[in-house]
Amino acid sequence: MEPDLFTAAAEDRQEKDPASSPLAVRMRPRTLDEVVGQQHLLKPGSPLRRLVGEGAGGPAGASSVILWGPPGIGKTTLAYVVSQATQKRFVELSAITAGVKEVRAVIEGARRAAGGYGKETVLFLDEIHRFSKAQQDSLLPAVENRWVTLIAATTENPYFSIISPLLSRSLLLTLEPLTDEDLSALMRRALAEERGLGGAVTLPADAEAHLLRIAGGDARRALTALEAGAGSAIAKGEAEITLETVEEAVDRAAVRYDRDGDQHYDVASALIKSIRGSDVDAALHYLARMIDAGEDPRFIARRLMISASEDIGLADPTALPIAVAAAQAVAMIGFPEAALTLSHATIALALAPKSNTATTAIGAALADVRAGLAGTVPPHLRDGHYKGAAKLGHAQGYVYPHDVPGAIAAQQYAPDELHGKRYYEPTRYGAEARYADVVEKVRERLRGAGPSSSGPAGV
């Protein structure tokens, strides 16, 4: 019999002394009906219910599934429930410690069990995103031929971390973050049930609200904090877990943010979009999450420099210098003081007038170039500094702008194919209103120049 999610020794110890296990372990659901949240995955006929034998039968067997979601919302719990409820052979592996050798051993055992005893095997593979492409490839024959039914858990976006052939052979089930109502129900159950705290303490509303803030949607964190608060209250001889007791027992909330996973990009994206939307408070929230998680301040500063040109541009020409100065400062001072500089820059960028014309202008110009609209450089603009250039007509007829009033010479600069093409379309937001006036006057001065084939026009 392969090892289950918990070894036989651990289970025996838990039965003899339930309090020896953490509250989060003791309160782990024993059936699918006890699972809190994820009801969209637990409807009759769902893949998970079919895995435990509910509604099984007929020509369609149970499908392999990939469970995707952040930590603490029930991926391992669902696998544990399946292991307890299914009549199938259940094997657990962790991608952190297992390799191809262990996977092949499980597959061979599954084939023997199916051939010798007619018993199907369910393989739970935790942290599958830690497997390399070659390691994931080793699962394909077993999944495709249903030698095993795979339950794989991942906290990272499977479209980036799991190979396409394995994705196509499995059902992707996305777990939703637990709501405050879900966590409240879970904590009330833990307070009341004998396998939990058995009614030893009560939890007033203000303390519960603080625990929910601490949990941040993570059931494991909620129960761990509740257990710490309950232990502190019992030690003081109190029958109630007060807000003060919770604050004493739990220092602060651990922010949900993985610098190496999806949320690294999601939170960074939310920061930039909040700046773009001029919501300074939301921008500071996401900045704080990145700082508290230990994000590299240089990464944050780079994103701010991009934002300054992408979303603000000439509407506030000081935005880019502020962002560049912030990047230079954080490189020199580091955390914790760099938090002040990043806050300074974030506030300035969020409240600056917005214009994306620098982004759209270069985008349109690049699109034309990539479409083949390049053309030759007009002869009068070509390099005339080498011997023989004049004989080729290079630089002949070029009007030096500083020699004419206003320093704008009415001559053609773009290739013939693009003469008169407009890429920059300024807004009238902030300081860019000045550029909107200037660019029209400049274009009017330049407009007198015809195609280069007729020769450049002077002033």
Q: What is the pLDDT of residue 364?
A: 86
pLDDT of residue 308: 94
Beta bridge partners of 154: 68
- DSSP string covering 170-187, please? SEEEEPPPPPHHHHHHHH
Strand partners, 125: 93, 152
425 by DSSP, 3-state: which? Answer: coil
Q: What is residue 168's three-state secondary structure?
A: helix
- How far is 218 from 216, CA to CA, in rounded Å? 6
To the nearest 10 degrees (0 to 180), the angle between helices 297-307 and 319-333 is 170
Letter for the amino acid at 98? Answer: A
Best CA proximity match to 89, nearest among 63, 65, 118: 118
State the amino acid at position 437 in one-letter form.
D
Helix (H) or strand (E) holding 13: helix 8-16
Nearest C-alpha neighbor of 436 from the set 427, 444, 445: 427
Distance CA 100, CA 113 (A): 20
**CB 424 within 8 Å of CB 357:** yes
> CA angle, corner 267, sides to 266 and 268, nearest 5?
95
Structure tokens at 58: 């007929």
DSSP state at residue 409: -
| d(C-alpha 369, C-alpha 358), whole Å | 17
Q: Are 236 and 245 in contact, with CB atoms under 8 Å apart?
A: yes
Sequence-distant (6+) residues with CB within 8 A of 187 are: 203, 208, 211, 222, 223, 226
Helix (H, G, I), strand (E, B) or coil at 242: coil
CB 89 within 8 A of CB 117: no
pLDDT along the chain (459 residues), means of 10: 46 55 84 79 77 55 79 79 75 85 87 77 87 88 85 86 89 84 91 90 89 81 89 90 85 53 74 90 89 82 93 91 93 84 93 90 86 78 74 77 81 79 84 82 72 39
Q: Which pair of tokens denotes residue 434?
A: 């000045």
Which string of b and e fits 365-388 if b means at least 16 CB within 10 Å? eeeeeeeeeeeeebbbbeebeeee
Contact 103, 135 (CB under 8 A): yes
Whether 297 contacts 336, CB under 8 Å:
no
Cβ neighbours of residue 364 closer than 8 Å, sequence gap 6 or more: 423
Q: Is-contact 139 103, C-beta < 8 A?
A: yes
Beta-bridge mates of residue 91: 123
In DSSP terms, which residues pair with 240 in a beta bridge?
A: 202
Report the pLDDT value the prediction gives residue 421, as an integer from 0 to 100: 81
CB atoms within 10 A of CB 316: 21
Token pair, residue 348, equals: 């300035």
91: left (phi over 0), alpha (psi -120 to 50) or beta: beta
According to DSSP, the β-strands at 65-68 and 89-94 are: unpaired
Type of residue at 59? P
Residues 6+ apart with CB under 8 A from 409: 399, 400, 401, 403, 458, 459
* Structure confidence at residue 320 (pLDDT): 94
pTM confidence score: 0.54
